[in-house]
Amino acid sequence: MADTRLIQGRYRLLELIGRGGMGEVWRARDESLGRRVAVKCLKPLGPQHDPSFTRVLRERFRREARVAAALQHRGVTVVHDFGEYDGVLYLVMELLEGRNLSQLLEDNKAHPLAVPDIVEITEQVSHALAYTHEQGIVHRDLKPANIMRLTDGTVKICDFGIARLGHDIGFTARLTGTGIAMGTPHYMSPEQISGAPVDHRSDLYSLGCVLYEIATGAPPFDLDDAWAVLVGHRDTPPAPPRGHRPELPGYFERIVLDLLAKQPDARPPDARELARRVADGRAGPPAVVRASTVVTRPLAGPGSLAGADPHAGADPHAGAAPLAGARSERPASREPRLPSWTRGMTTGHKASGGSPPHRSPLDAAGL
């Protein structure tokens, strides 16, 4: 498609601005309306996929693109058009000028963002999630790379609807052993990890992981072994963010820890309530700031397995080898197995980790 430089006689591809597991994003010009746009071209599926699955996936893409195009909120990326050209599915979106949260952390050498910026981002994302969840849409892959801060300060969530498409591809990949897998372990909810049904509260958990990272410089379970990250999400209470950065507001820490509750019912009921709590916290009395040294390097999560073998035992995937020094919410003997698709997972690319040495299959859900 890149060779033709023109899609459907209308969208002229000008510059490649992003590449990921699901495809490429191009800066382009809409020749009909004379405006700059972004065009996301999804990778064609290989011959290993069943033709009937490919047809279903194309239909699902069209349906999800229609849903995404119907979303009208300042905190959600606008979708202008979609279609298929020369066998490649494409999506035409508004062209955003700014940096995503992953890039902002990397620009800042993995140092946490300023507290006022963190609070503002939290409030804006909460309103955007509230709107989309009320439309019946769950993102499923919320992470720093999918949250953009524009040059004027507006915060937008990217890839709504398309993330669900990535979930479908990933699910098939797990069953067949082919194709691409979906998700980044550092931001996955416990119910995603266990393979249970997910709803809007899974997005709230993922948002909690994102907020923890931009506030402290590292995700709540900052471990290099994917299995340890998954077990951390499932079993280990996260360390309070103010233990890493005491000048964070107390109300913000409470919000983050509530978002990171293991059970969905223990999290805030919805993003609208989350936005209300942020607004109330901002309007409240100023928090007492204690003298501290801000963390300037990634932190190991509670119960770090640094130097330990998380796979010790006859069957490392049989349940719950507890994290060293960590507290488990249930007896280890009663822990359910993690799904078989977690075997061989890699940690993928977390925002504070810099550029990954290679692209893992788990980076496939977004760009």
Q: Which is the catalytic residue, given 141, 203, 222, 363? A: 141
What single letter denotes the amino acid at residue 351?
A
Q: Tell me, which fold does domain 98-354 have in CATH? A: Transferase(Phosphotransferase); domain 1 (1.10.510)
Cα(316)–Cα(337) distance, integer angstroms? 10
Domain extents in the chain: 14-94, 98-354
Q: Are 93 and 79 in contact (CB under 8 A)?
A: yes
Catalytic annotation on 86? no
Alpha helix (H) ranges present in the chain?
Answer: 51-70, 101-107, 115-134, 162-176, 190-194, 200-216, 226-235, 250-259, 271-283
Cα(48)–Cα(162) distance, integer angstroms? 22
SS3 of 34-56: the string is CEEEEEEEECCCCCCCCHHHHHH
Q: Residue 354 corresponds to which tokens in the numbers above?
A: 């810099």
How far, in whole angstroms, is CA 21 from its chain's centroid? Answer: 14
Run of H or E residues at 26: strand 23-30
Q: Residue 19 corresponds to which tokens in the numbers above?
A: 């590449």
* Nearest in space to 163 (alpha carbons), one of 148, 175, 145: 145
Query: Which architecture does CATH list for 14-94?
Result: 2-Layer Sandwich (3.30)
∠ CA 39-126-164 to the nearest 5 degrees? 45
pTM: predicted TM-score of the whole model, two decimal places: 0.73
For the chain, 367 residues long, give each residue's pLDDT as a single digit of tens. Answer: 545 589 999 999 999 998 876 678 999 999 999 999 999 988 776 665 667 767 777 787 888 788 888 899 999 999 999 998 888 889 999 999 999 999 999 999 879 999 999 999 999 999 999 999 999 889 988 999 999 999 999 999 998 766 555 444 444 333 333 333 345 789 999 999 988 889 999 999 999 999 999 999 999 999 888 889 999 999 999 999 999 999 999 999 999 999 999 999 999 999 999 999 999 999 986 544 443 333 333 333 333 333 333 333 333 333 333 333 333 343 343 444 555 444 444 445 556 544 333 333 223 333 3
SS3 of 185-210: the string is HHHCCHHHHHCCCCCHHHHHHHHHHH
What are the backbone angles phi and psi of residue 328, rounded to the nearest 5°? -100, 145
What are the backbone angles phi and psi of residue 204, rounded to the nearest 5°? -65, -40
* Nearest in space to 209 (alpha carbons), one of 231, 244, 181, 184: 184
Q: Residue 316 corresponds to which tokens in the numbers above?
A: 């490392």
∠ CA 269-275-277 to the nearest 5 degrees? 80
